[in-house]
Amino acid sequence: MKHNRLIIESGIPAKMRDGVTLYADIYRPADEGKYPVLLTRLPYSKSYGLHFIRPNILAQQGYIVIVQDVRGRYASEGEFVPYIAEVDDGYDTIEWAANLPYANGDVGMFGLSYYGYTQILAAISGNTHLKAIAPIMAQNSMTDVFNDHDGALELGMWETWNLESMLPDMLSRKYRTREALKQAADTLTENLDNLDMLYKFKPYKDWPAIGREEMPYFAKLLDYEPTNSHWEKIDAKSNYDKIKVPGLHVAGWYDCFLDKTIANFQNGYSRGFGDKLVIGPWTHANFGQMIGDRDFGMAANAWGEASMHKRHIEWFNHQLKQKPLPEMAPINYFVMGLNEWKTAEEWPPKNVAETPLYFQKGEVGAEFSAPTTFTESRFSYNPENPVPSNGGGTLHKELHADGPRDQQTLELREDILCYTTAPLDKALEVTGPVQVKLWAKTDAPNTDFTAKLVDVFPDGKAFNLADGIIRAAKQHGDNVQNNINEYTIDLWATSNMFQKGHQIRIEISSSNFPRFDPNPNTGESFINSTDSQIANQTIYHSPEYPSHILLPIVR
């Protein structure tokens, strides 16, 4: 039954256990009766566009839809520190929502990104009124995402998100006079217009774009201690056993939270909760067919924004109203290059064989046969001239920021090694997790190694598919300098059909800026230091040191 008449209430208070009041807007059917609740909790204002899913459409399907400002944001009281309060506040808000006079006691949650993770943390709280979640492009850790991406800091994401998404409301809460607020807003606008230059400022703890009084948590989170119980409480992957509700998980091959979303799905699915996973060719919050420099065709829309309401309604009708769920495999994933959807019963798919593609030195730089001779390649990495980010699973503000982008010009740099196969004599599908096993040596006390998987078209265009980084000391501690070590670089996952005549390329370098903070190669970090030195890197490809990429090839 569709409810065409709705009641919309604004600024409805909910008191948390410590006395702080959070405020929400409520959309509900005007028809008498009790309905299940669909709740979303976000830091971007309860009047935020919610472009991918509209509360009124959900309410028309017989739901009470609650959109709440999280603690310390917009209408809600309290101090905002990312995620810190979301377990307890999630529990208390669910309890309040379930006991509204027009609610039937069952609650589902929906939302994307930050308000995808508020669902995960609310599920950890153990409130039994919560029956199902739909975390879209959501993480499973706060610190892993920003501070510790295999040892590196996600610099572009960290600085952009705080400056662009968090600071405006913090300024309005701090500066109460029109003149002071205008001056602060003008400074913010100037900084946003010059963000590509501000990425280069160091040390990051003294970043001038954000004042310590305006955003007191900024420097604190840069210097986090992962063993602090404060952080452990909001680390979902350490508390997966506490989640006991099914989830509909949506990811993108070029999303900054791809691996986290997959892990969230695997937790629930492996425990028999009936979780579902959808992975499209998308970037963060972009569910269209034109992604980066590539058009993935109309098929990309089959699970995209145009059908997002339908998918959510089907999911929650099943979980909260006991209606049949239309036939749906546990996993639906989009194969780029083929531009078609496929299904799987598990991740990675059963028909995948992990196959090494070995790096060689020569005109054909990558072969499926292992090397038989000793060769090596060298390059120098200068932290003051890092390799620019060009597409990928980023979340920062810069030209060609995310998605698939042509890498040809970038590959002309002397600090990027390219290992490329001969043109393929038949199509080859790669679907699943991707890793690089790299034997390398550096003359620096610490450094980074990066890897990128690329699909090279017959006309020379080279589109990135997946990439990763490892901070050397993260895997080898003090045994980095002048030692040949094996490094594992996690490129997360992809699904791509390398068509006949295409080539597979792997780029190896030591930086990807501003997606990641450049390693100064000194043993310190640009978080607290400005000193740097050049690192001379050697990559080995030999029977003893067989550097390679592990490709999940579909049989």
Could you read off the pLDDT of 369-415 as tens digits, one per residue?
Answer: 999 999 999 999 999 999 999 999 998 877 778 999 999 999 999 99
CB 449 within 8 A of CB 510: yes
d(CA 20, CA 18): 6
Average pLDDT over residues 234-245: 93
Per-residue model confidence (pLDDT) at position 49: 64
Note the CATH architecture for domain 352-554. Answer: Sandwich (2.60)
Q: Does the pLDDT at position 214 exceed 80? A: yes
Q: What are phi and psi for residue 383, nearest 5 degrees?
A: -60, -20
Per-residue model confidence (pLDDT) at position 85: 95
129, 249, 284, 396: the active-site residue: 284
51 among known catalytic residues: no
User: What percentage of residues in the chain have a pLDDT greater than 90?
Assistant: 87
CB 165 within 8 A of CB 44: yes
CA dist 85 to 17, 235, 527, Å?
Answer: 11, 12, 26
235 among known catalytic residues: no
Residue 118: pLDDT band by 50, 70, 90 thresholds?
very high
Q: Does the pLDDT at position 363 exceed 90? A: no
The winner for highest mean pLDDT among 127-131, 156-160, 181-185, 216-220 is 127-131
Which tens digit of pLDDT belongs to each residue from 23-78? 999 999 999 999 999 999 999 999 876 778 899 999 999 999 999 999 999 999 99
Average pLDDT over residues 309-322: 97
Could you tell me how many helices (H) and strands (E) the chain has, helices first?
13, 23
284 among known catalytic residues: yes
For 373-392, give the secondary structure using H, E and C. CCEEEEEEECCCCCCECCCE
d(CA 26, CA 17): 21
Top pLDDT among 48 and 541 is at: 541
Structure tokens at 163: 């400056």
Q: Does the pLDDT at position 144 exceed 80? A: no
CA dist 112 to 5, 65, 89, 119, 284, Å?
Answer: 27, 15, 18, 9, 9
Question: How is the chain split into domains, by residue range?
Answer: 6-143+238-343, 148-230, 352-554
d(CA 43, CA 82): 9
Q: What is the DSSP letter of 518?
A: P
User: What percentage of residues in the chain have a pLDDT greater than 70?
Assistant: 98
Residues 6+ apart with CB under 8 A from 292: 254, 283, 391, 400, 402, 403, 404, 405, 463
d(CA 353, CA 373): 26
Interstrand relation of 535-541 and 428-442 (parallel, antiparallel or unpaired): antiparallel
d(CA 131, CA 407): 45
14 DSSP β-pair partners: 22
CATH superfamily of 6-143+238-343: Alpha/Beta hydrolase fold, catalytic domain (3.40.50.1820)
| Percentage helix, strand, coil for the chain under 3-state DSSP, each rounded to 5 | 25, 35, 45
Residue 355: pLDDT band by 50, 70, 90 thresholds?
very high
Average pLDDT over residues 149-155: 94
Per-residue model confidence (pLDDT) at position 230: 60
Q: What is the DSSP string of 213-247?
A: TTSTHHHHHHT--TT-HHHHTT-GGGSGGG--S-B
Per-residue model confidence (pLDDT) at position 100: 98
Nearest CA-CA partner of 489 in 516, 471, 512, 464: 471
Per-residue model confidence (pLDDT) at position 228: 56
d(CA 63, CA 319): 13
Residue 223: pLDDT band by 50, 70, 90 thresholds?
low
Q: Which pTM does this prediction carry?
A: 0.96
113, 141, 377, 525: the active-site residue: 113
Q: What are phi and psi for residue 216, nearest 5 degrees?
A: -65, -25
- E strands, 129-231, are 130-136
Domains 6-143+238-343 and 352-554 are alike in CATH topology: no
Residues 6+ apart with CB under 8 A from 168: 185, 188
Per-residue model confidence (pLDDT) at position 321: 98
Nearest CA-CA partner of 408 in 494, 503, 334: 503
92, 255, 406, 490: the active-site residue: 255
Q: What are phi and psi for residue 66, nearest 5 degrees?
A: -115, 125
Q: Does the pLDDT at position 224 exceed 70? A: no
Residue 257: pLDDT band by 50, 70, 90 thresholds?
very high
